[in-house]
Amino acid sequence: MTRFLAPPPFRNVGQDPKTQSSPPSSLGSLSQIIIRARQGHLVQEFRTSNSTLTPKLVDEIHSAWKDYIRSEVNKGLPENEKIIQGNEEGAWKSLSQKIQDAPWKQECLKRHEKFDMAFSAAVCEKFYASLIHGTII
């Protein structure tokens, strides 16, 4: 009885197995695609269920902003400047001034390479919240 063996996954026919590169990280890419699709679905579901601006919705967005700055912006901050729960507004005023200091910002970027993106996203939410409340940040 002859057994036919399939080649190992991701092996290119005719390529020397010793020089073969490792398999692509398609599993990681696939999981990222699935996560993004799920996030997109949840955002769409949220938009559908919240078609009008209510005080409850504003509070929910503001709460999400506080969670976001504590989880994402904090990654780049020095230990003695981390934002603690309940002090987000006070810390934000200070951070909004410190971000203008280029050396300080560079140190934050060394701690978290996406610090600038996280800070910018938080600024957008604050801007829109100020429009809703009729105040200027």
Give me the pLDDT at residue 7, please.
44
CA distance 123 to 137: 9
Give the mean model confidence (pLDDT) for residues 12-20.
50
Give me the pLDDT at residue 25, please.
56
In this prediction the pTM is 0.62
Structure tokens at 85: 């729960």
129 compared with 31, residue with greater pLDDT: 31
Give the mean model confidence (pLDDT) for residues 118-128.
81
Output the DSSP codes for the chain: ---PPPPPTTPPTTS-TTTPPPPP-HHHHHHHHHHHHHHHHHHHHHHHH--S--HHHHHHHHHHHHHHHHHTGGGGS-GGGPPPTT-HHHHHHHHHHHTT-HHHHHHHHHH-TTHHHHHHHHHHHHHHHHHHHT---
